[in-house]
Amino acid sequence: MTGPLARITGLAEIVEDRTAYVLNLPRIEDQQSPYVFEGTAFEIWVRIDGTRTETQIVDELVEVTGVEREVVARDTRGFLATLRDLGLVSRG
């Protein structure tokens, strides 16, 4: 079992309706504009709170969306890998 996923410290975030705008302040020189998370990306992003594991996030998304678990797990894993590559999240 993997540990909980957490956002790194130093992020600036604005959540408006169902959209999150995120700036990675520690890496601001590499980032020209905010990351914008909408739809499924938003649903994953708001669940990264330092208490949920990847498995728990997938379980919640399956329950909310009704999409097959394998599809949700694959897509979530890919998006989380991107977030780690961007330096936005870490695994506890």
The per-residue pLDDT for range 65-83, each reduced to its tens digit, is: 999 999 999 999 999 999 9
pLDDT in tens, 38-55: 999 999 999 999 999 999
Domain boundaries, the chain: 5-91
Identify residue 67 by its one-letter amino acid code. Answer: V
Query: What pLDDT is stored for residue 92 in this prediction?
Result: 62
3-class DSSP state of 20: strand
Bridge partner list, 36: 21
Write out the CATH class of domain 5-91: alpha beta
Characterize the bridge pairing of strands 19-24 and 11-16.
antiparallel
Nearest one of 29, 30, 34, 43 to 79, comparing CA atoms? 43
pTM equals 0.89
Query: What pLDDT is stored for residue 1 in this prediction?
Result: 44
Q: Is the pLDDT of residue 57 over 50?
A: yes
